[in-house]
């Protein structure tokens, strides 16, 4: 269908749903409405209340182009350009991992333990964790770190959009931080094995950045580095909070204990899966 002037909302949604259905997408009409809502910043109902009213040609062509991107397998957050995380609406594109609901619990765990002081979000990506900590907590300072300049540019866009007081620095994990400068180190690091990454659904593997997902042969490379880095940059009594793979939760906890951390505990996410490692740096030198 060409994007002629005068296409109605009813016709537009029907065409979009047909394209998505031909691509094998389940519940194509609902998906078509979600794309419209994401692009327009309104509601699906607003499109359909006056569904016989014509829609401007420019809006029609932009919408159908987005529908075609979704039909090709591109994640909805990248197609619409935004993703929700806790109380925030964030810019989202291929520069960083899409924020996920299971990561939101990490913020609660940190804020319940750290009332003030200085916190770093390592591998900040879109900035979702750092920005949530800054807007919801009473922390003296929040810094987000990432090795990717592109990810940091996206995070800074989200900082400006939310008005959160966060500093972003480029560096490999905590290399940019001084010893014993943090009251908490939080991270959603890559934690998949090479084989697990290869077996991901194409909607993730073919679109989201590999460096944010895969962590070597056993999936523990980055977690191990963060355990060591945490000991260096945390003040005595400071907290390490990591999102981890459910299949290796017990191993991560054992590793943290063997590394000298205390109060080591595994916490479950909103789906009841062992998703988070919490540990405290002891007073030992």
pLDDT at 185: 98
Which is more confidently placed, 32 or 58?
32
Instruction: Identify the CATH homologous superfamily for domain 86-280.
Output: Vaccinia Virus protein VP39 (3.40.50.150)
pLDDT of amino acid 9: 78
Calculate the average pLDDT of the chain: 92
- 6 pLDDT more than 70: no
Q: How far is CA 245 from CA 24, 125, 252, in A?
A: 30, 18, 9
| Window from 153-157, 169-173, 214-218 with minimum mean pLDDT | 214-218
**Please, where are the H alpha helices in 23-56?**
28-40, 44-49
Burial class (CB in 10 A: 0-12, 13-18, 19+), 111: middle
């Amino acid at each position: 269908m060409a994007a002629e002037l005068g296409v109605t909302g009813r016709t537009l949604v029907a065409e979009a749903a047909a394209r998505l259905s031909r691509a094998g997408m389940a519940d194509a009409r609902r998906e078509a409405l979600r794309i419209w809502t994401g692009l327009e910043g309104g509601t699906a109902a607003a499109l359909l209340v006056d569904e016989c009213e014509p829609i401007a040609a420019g809006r029609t062509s932009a919408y159908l182009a987005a529908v075609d991107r979704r039909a090709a397998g591109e994640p909805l957050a990248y197609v619409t350009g935004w993703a929700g995380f806790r109380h925030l609406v964030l810019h989202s594109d291929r520069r960083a991992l899409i924020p996920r609901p299971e990561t939101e619990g990490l913020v609660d765990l940190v804020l319940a333990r750290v009332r003030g002081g200085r916190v770093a979000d390592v591998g900040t990506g879109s900035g979702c964790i750092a920005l949530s900590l800054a807007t919801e907590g009473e922390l003296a300072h929040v810094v987000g770190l990432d090795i990717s300049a592109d990810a940091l540019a996206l995070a800074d866009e989200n900082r400006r959009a939310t008005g959160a007081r966060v500093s972003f620095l480029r560096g490999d994990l905590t290399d940019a931080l001084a010893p014993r400068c943090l009251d908490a180190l939080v991270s959603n690091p890559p934690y998949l094995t090479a084989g697990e990454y290869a077996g991901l659904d194409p909607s993730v593997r073919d679109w989201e950045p590999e460096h944010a997902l895969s962590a070597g042969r056993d999936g523990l490379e980055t977690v191990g580095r963060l355990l060591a880095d945490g000991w260096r940059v945390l003040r005595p009594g400071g907290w390490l909070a990591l999102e981890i793979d459910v299949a290796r939760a017990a191993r991560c906890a054992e590793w943290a204990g063997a590394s000298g951390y205390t109060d080591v505990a595994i916490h479950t996410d909103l789906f009841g899966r062992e998703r988070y490692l919490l540990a405290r740096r002891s007073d030992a030198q």
